[in-house]
Each structure stands twice: as C-alpha cells, then as structure tokens.
Structure 1
Amino acid sequence: MKKGVLLVNLGSPDSPNPKDVKKYLGEFLMDERVIDIPYAARALLVRGIILKTRPKASAAAYKKIWWEEGSPLIVISKRLQDKIKKQVDIPVALAMRYGSMTIEKGLRELVDQGVDEVLLFPLYPQFAMATTETILVKAEEIRKMHFPNLKIESVPAFYNKSDYIEVLSNSIKRHLEGKTYEHLLFSYHGVPERHIRKSDITKSHCKINGNCCVTPSKAHEFCYRHQCLEVTRLVAEKLQLQEGAYSTSFQSRLGFDPWLQPYTDRTIERLGKGGLKNMAIVTPAFVSDCLETLEEIAMEGQEIFHEMGGHEFTTIPCLNDDDDFVNLLSNWITNWNTK
C-alpha cells in the first residue's frame, strides 16, 4: 500500500470581504459539532441572526490581520506542509475543515498520487467536538462517498506527548528571553460546558469542577478541559514556573450558554486591575496563528490590559512552522510510515 498524510487545520475565508466571511461563517457555524443544537434552531440562530450581523464585524477583524499573501492561518499551514514534505518520503497534502481547501480536495490530491492509506492529521493538540471530532467525522463521510477503498488512520490528541511538551516549552522559553513578565497566561479556545459532558465516554465523570480533571478517568481521552489543564501543568513543570506565576483561561465564547471558565478577557482585566504591570500570554490550543490569536489576543487582549493599567503585554506566537515543530511532526509521520 502507498501511504500519504493529510494535514487538516480549521480554515479561513477566501478573503476579508464580508461576502466571503459570511460564506465561511455559515459553513462553520452550521456544523452540528460547533453549535450542537437541533437543526431548525441552529438554522434560525445562524442564518436568521448571526449571519445578518456578524460578517461585517468579523470581516473588519480579518482585515486587521490579513497578510499580503493571504489568510495567516492558510499561509502558515502551507509553510508547515512545505517544510514537512522536505523531510518525509511520502506525499503530504493540506486541507481545511471549512472553506475552499476542503478535505475532499486533500484526499483527492493524495489518491491521484496513488495513495491508498492515509494518515489523517488534525492540527490540534487537544481533542474537542468542534475541532478533532468534526474533522474525523467529515473525513469518514467523504471516504465512504468518494473513496470507499481508501484506508484512513487518524492521529490522536498529542497534548501530553513528552516530545510535544518539550517543543512547546522551548518555544515559550525562547520567546520570553529578555522579556519582563510577572505572569504567564495559558489561553485556550473556549467550548460550551455541554461539549465536555457530551464527550464524556463514562457518562458520569465530568462534573467541570475542581476535582474531575485531576482525578484519573477514561474520560480524559476525550476531555478537552482536562487536556488543556494538563498542557498547562506539564509546561509549567518543564519550565519550573512558580505557583501563582501562571494560570489557565478560555477565550472566544459565543452566545449565552455557560462556556469553560475563567474567561480570558476577564482574566486579563482582573490581572490588570490587580496591579500586574507585565504579563505574557500563550495560546496552546492553536498550532497556527489565526484570527483568534492575532486579533482577539494580540490586539484586543493587549488593549484590555493597557486600559486596566498594565504596561508590557507579550504575545507568544503559536508553533507555526517552527523548525523544532516541523521536525517533531516529520518524525511522527516517518515512524508511522515505517511501522
């Protein structure tokens, strides 16, 4: 069998034009694993309310961070793909869960090269319904419909792999060299609390309290909250961070349902109000810088901190196409290819 790899990231509008942003948001928000309510209610909410108001504001946000080459997330993902291709001996394609770079196109690219066994590689360290799970479900749907003879194997969440933690920790340390900071905030993308309970394979463990995420359980294999907290713990241990000098928060909530807390914007506000003058922030739920890191954190987060009296706000880039990260993914791919 000929093997190949499909890297999959979130996606992006084709341009920061409101029309393209609206099309992208419509696909993204109508995914039942992103807004997990009945179809009729979801359609009413998304098409009847959100898409009538949000595209213009989102387009303005995208314009702030758009690069000359295109969407930062797409450009960075392509750079990552290109570097990996130079280090491995099998075809490597790139796709997005949403937008014009579809998973179907990515699988077609590999099949056209004679590939009949694919390593599906969601570019997310932690498992979540709205990220990894929706990629796996969509890929299987496409396989059954268009590529029934194709074998697909997926990469599980790698949040706690020691080599990943080392690469992430070294990147954080490198970007903080020479910087003055009193507190390091680990900000992860938020999800509704009900997503955590829905992903609980034990149907009883996840209480979203101070105990369940640190109590051993099979539920942790698919618990986004546990996996985020574990990344923070492992990196803090690796970097020998002192208790109280770091914390975890969650960003990008939508709607009025309870989402994972504490919220990043309120945490930044609280730290500033509390007299903190210098802080750093890292976003380990993303491997590629995107709207949520470049605009929501680096711009809006910094503005909040300064308004609260803070001075230095250091944003640590995602791993992007960092050479150590490229080497890590390439090694994992090579090990899979040779097993």
Structure 2
Amino acid sequence: MNQLDQLKAFTTVVADTGNFKQMAQFAPRDATTNPSLILKAVQQPDYAPLLTDTVAAHRGKPLDQIVDEVLVRFGLEILKVVPGRVSTEVDARLSFDTAATIARAHRLIALYEDAGISRERVLIKIAATWEGIQAAHALEQEGIHCNLTLLFSFCQAVACGEAGVRLISPFVGRIYDWYKKQAGAAWDEAAMAGANDPGVKSVTQIFNYYKKFGIDTEVMGASFRNVGQIVALAGCDLLTISPDLLAKLQADDTPMTRALDATAAQALPLHAVIYNEASFRYALNEDAMATEKLAEGIRLFAVDAAKLDALIQGA
C-alpha cells in the first residue's frame, strides 16, 4: 500500500491547490485555495477561460465583487471533484478589519448558496489575527464555518479554539523556513527532521492541547516542504498537501505509522490557557517567528490579491 493510502487511514487528506483538474487522481476529501494558488491557476491555459467567462458575466460590478465571483467559480469546480469541503479565502487586505471580514464572508457564502451549495461544504478562510479570530467567532455562531490560516503560534491556536472556529491551518513549512534561516550554517537538517522539525513540533503541541481539553476545532497541518514533515504528523485531523508531495506519497510504499494520537494526548500533563486581546497580542509579540511570518504571510497574500485584481481588470 502506498504512503498516501496509508496516510488516509490516520488522517483526512486535503489537496492544497487551485488546480482542480489535477486533483482527482489523489482522491482528497477536501481542498483548500488561497489568492496565490488561484492566481497561479488562472495564468494556465486550462483555467484562463474560467476567469474570462466569469469576468464577462459580471462586467460592470465593483472589482471586489468580481473577484469573489472568480474565487467562488473555482470553488464550485473544485466541489465537483472533492466530496467534502472547499476553503475560500477572504481578501488578506481585510485581515485587521473584523466587520469587513464578516461582510465578505457573508457575500462568499451567499454566492455559494445561490449556486446550490450548502454552507456545510464551504470553509471561509481568514488570517488568524485577533480581528480575524473575532470575525470567525461571529460567523461560526451563524453556522458559517471558518478555516483560520497563517497560524504560526500556540496563542493563535488557543484563541481559535476559544472562538469555536471549525478548523485551523498551522503552517509547518513556513515555521521550518524561519528557523532554518535563523540558524544559517549551523542548521543540521538531519537533527531537525521528523518529530524534531520546529513546524512539526508546533502542530503536535496544538493537536495535543486540543485533544487534552476536548476542543472541537479541527487541526489541519499545512505548508509542507517535504514528505518527512507529513509522515511525522500522520494522525493529525487533516493535512493539506500540494500535488507534488501527494504524488511523492503515492509513489512510495514505505510503511507509515500513526505519529499523533488523540487518546494518548488526553493523558498528557498539560495546563489550560485563556487569552484576552491584551494577553494574546503580548504572547504573539513574544514569538518573533510567529509575528514575522504572520505579517509576511498577509503581505504576500495581499500582493497576489492585487495581481489577481489586475488580471481581472485586464480580462
């Protein structure tokens, strides 16, 4: 049995791509998108007509509305391939505006529902800023489920759990990138692999905390740099994986065992933590990696959102 099939016995596998034509071969349950992935997809000949057709159908509407139409159009195509859910992202430029994030989420859900898709099949993807977490809290109370992304720190995860968020996406690879860059020539790849990988350690800590205290929020490891990171998180609720790494898992028959265990986590000697806005901001500030990677992630998504705007305006 290949590693992808073995992984599916422990963990829900999610495709991390906007390339829905490539997705079916890996039979993921869910799929996640973001502005960068959609931007990449619409520049390919296979997907360019989706953009031009959607823009033509909604010409004359405000730009932000057309962008949402394009995002949802991709989501609808993805939902023809996956049996589960698609994550569709709110514009990263709204990451510090709770009210605007809620309004954009309402519009995305309305577009899906108008197309006959139940809100249960959609996760609204929001950056895990304090403002984003508060928006998600309000949306979850309306039955609009959220995927909190750009999550790099324990305090972000705890706040999301308190907010009743449906799912979080802690970023394994970007945490790994930061620590590797900081270490420079002193970085020892072999010593920092597997369970010792700083990104893997972060997700493991969050997973164990949630399971210990019965927090229902689903943990979905994201942003992988290598197969070893994935294998070290087998047993996590979900893992969202790029097509190239899905292909590597599919081509490898090496035996895989469960690395994360919800039952074992319940026996761990952990202490519950609660954050208010002030203590959350201070804890995030104390974590240089998380502070830097959250800010950088929002900036990068915002750049790609602006590029998507420009493509749509030129279509």
Q: Which has the higher helix share?
A: 2
TM-score, structure 2 as length reference: 0.26
TM-score, structure 1 as length reference: 0.25
- The structure with the largest alpha-carbon Rg is 1
